[in-house]
Chain A
Amino acid sequence: MGKIKTLADLKNLKTDLQSKINLREKGISPEKLVQIKVAMATCGIASGAKEIMDFLIDELDKQSINAVVTQTGCMGYCYAEPTIEVTLPGNAPIVFGYVDNNKASEIIEKYIKKGEIVDGVLPVNYETIDKK
């Protein structure tokens, strides 16, 4: 086994990143980034939300897409987990349901990169049975 990574290695990584980030992000405010929220309550986690989040972070980084991937609680769409909410800059948030790795790729390729809507959008007017 190789040498275990330490906090000293983190320091080196930081110095390395600082120069790159300064170049890349000058003037980019968070509102101008793609924001993705992965629903991660019991229902989401049990359906594989963590794997989706890992996949999204990995894939977006590989493709050098400036995005913030974060977790959120249950959005009430337990039946359609894993769900993710994608907000493109200047657009209203859209929630996609039944997301697996293939769906996530499709969302990145079509919606995030080209703005084309893909199947699997959950209606915002969804009501729980109790409210009816």
Chain B
Amino acid sequence: MKNLSLHILDIIQNSIRAKANLIELEILENLKENIFQIVIKDNGTGIEKDKLKGILDPYFTSRTTRNVGLGLSLLKQNAERTGGFLKIYSKLGKGTVVKTLFKYNNIDRPVLGDISGVVTLVVASNPSIEFLYKHKTDKGEFFFNSKEIKRILENVAINEPKVIFFLKEMIKENLQNIKL
């Protein structure tokens, strides 16, 4: 993956496949403690206890279309390379939390990349899933709530190209404001 936003897009696919209808993404940038943290939380089907053990194994997947599942292991490898970690918590029937921590100033930490594009893409492609995005840095916070957006849009579809372009810009501009 070229950057962290693509990793996020990848991990979110797991939540979508787990039939989640609420996905929360939380990004925390804290220079003082030197951390860049990404938490992805969903209310999907969850993972069975005995499967949870093997989940970070690259040759594990619940898919039937292929035999490998590299998403989580690639992210874990990237996090560990910076001195961070990836942890996964899950409860059957409740949902799953993937928490990834990077050392902020480590040279191996990939850049965040086009997160506004990723958030917009997920929201527009999955109208039935609600998405909460919280981004906190030392300079401030930004919240994005797909429910609020859809309420304003009323009968206008969230995947209208003009809406997609607008949301992408809106998120980008707000993030620029709290950029470290």
Contacts and interface: CB of A to CB of B under 8 A. Distances in A.
B34 interface: no
Contact of A18 (B65, B114, B155, B161): B155
Interface in B30-80: 63, 65-67, 69-71, 74
B108 interface: no
Q: Is the interface of B mostly helix, strand, loop or mixed?
A: helix
A76 B10 CA distance: 16
A94 interface: no
B166 A9 contact: yes
Given A40-B13, A42-B70, A5 B169 contact: yes
Contact of B156 (A9, A17, A46, A50): A17
Contacts of A6: 170
A50 B161 contact: no
Interface in A33-52: 40-42, 45-46, 50
Report, as a range, how many residues of chain B touch the other chain: 35 or more
Interface string B121-133: 1101110000000
Contacts of A21: 156, 160
A54 B116 CA distance: 12
Contacts of A14: 152-154, 156
Contacts of A10: 149, 152-153, 163, 166-167, 170
Interface of A: 1, 4-7, 9-11, 13-14, 17-18, 21, 40-42, 45-46, 50, 53-54, 57-58, 60-61, 68-71, 73-76, 78, 128, 130
